[in-house]
A = this chain, B = another copy of it.
Amino acid sequence: MVSGVSSAAAGLVAKAREGDKHATARLLSVVENEEPGAAEALRELYPLTGKARVIGVTGPPGGGKSTLVNRLAGAYREQGDRVAVVAVDPSSPFSGGALLGDRIRMSERFLDDGLFIRSMASRGHSGGLARSTSRVVNVLDAIGYGVVLVETVGVGQEEVDVIRVVDTVVLVTVPGLGDDIQAIKAGVLEIADVLVVNKADRPGADETARDLAQMLTLGKMRTSWKPPIVRTVAATGENVPQLVDAIEKHRAWAAENGERDRRRRDAARSEVEELLRAALIRRLRDRVGDERVDRAVARVAERSIDPYAAVEELLKD
């Protein structure tokens, strides 16, 4: 059975590496949902990872991110790279539908063998999305996509966690956010490597760019990298080459200055620690038995013991 499972996974991996999109989609589902064979597949693929340019695009809804991602995908395709787009949707009511619509339009637009599109929805628990995204990105990287674009909608904690898996973070904003732009500082500005003012043909683009520049001077910079501000009009493709250029500059800087390695180490750490936690709790359940865990939970629920006492008791022996 297990050997059957792993050989099935191995078969998917082989087909996916040959560019079979159905096998790729299936393999991603196996890995994303941790179906049987996921561990074997990731084991086989992991040594092949680390080659792709992984670019994250994030920012508030309504910023035209999907259109910009379409443009970036097109630009990298023209350079001959195989491009994968991972559209991550933490199922905010303000993105879900629109995002899917864009994805459909996009797949019509670049229906070629060198482009693969994957939409990911929330995992139903916080943090799950970030972990499954990093697994999906690793698979796409390993099977030969030279560029992986990770698009997230919204700017909450989950999006910040998701975007940590990338090498370069592009934060997309638009003119006319008013005071709200101030609040971006509290959100993802700290992790942004390239700032984009999209829809830059709209009034207010100058103020928005100026506000962003000012925030950058206020915020303590973590590294020597100074995030450039690029004005784009995704709808027409205006300045998309400049954006690609800014992304590649950051990539070169990050490789030289150890920033890329630092991020990959952080990503590896959270992945290892997550797997450790899961393995440890599995072992504990095997040892003490689910019944005892359930009993402890029930007693906490009825307030007869507190959670700390319950944990101590479960770990007693």
| Residues in chain A within 8 A of chain B (CB atoms) | 39, 42-43, 46-47, 49-50, 60, 90-97, 121-130, 154-159, 161, 177, 179-188, 261, 264-265, 267-269, 271-273, 275-277, 279-281, 283-284, 293, 296-298, 300-301, 303-311, 314-315
Choose one: B128, B129, B130, B297; the contact of A269 (CB below 8 Å): B297
Contacts of A306 in B (CB 8 A): 42-43, 46-47
- Count identical subunits in the complex: 2
Contact status B308-A275, CB under 8 Å: yes
A42's partner among B130, B267, B308, B314 (CB-CB below 8 A) is B308
Q: Is the interface of A mostly helix, strand, loop or mixed?
A: helix
A97 to B157 alpha-carbon distance, docked (Å): 16
Question: Which partner residue on chain B sits nearest A135 by CB separation?
Answer: B307
Contact B311–A93 (Cβ < 8 Å): no
The reply to whether A97 and B43 contact each other, CB–CB distance below 8 Å, is: no
Q: A47-B303, A180-B94 are in contact. Are A272 and B161 (CB under 8 A)?
A: no
Given A268-B297, A296-B272, A310-B272, does the pair A157, B93 have CB atoms closer than 8 Å? Answer: no
| Cβ-defined contact, A161 with B60, below 8 A | no
Contact of A156 among B46, B91, B180 (CB under 8 A): B91
Are B91 and A307 touching (Cβ within 8 A)? no
What would 13 A/B residue contacts be, using CB atoms closer than 8 Å? A42-B307, A47-B306, A94-B155, A124-B157, A126-B129, A128-B157, A154-B156, A265-B301, A268-B300, A268-B301, A275-B308, A277-B280, A280-B284
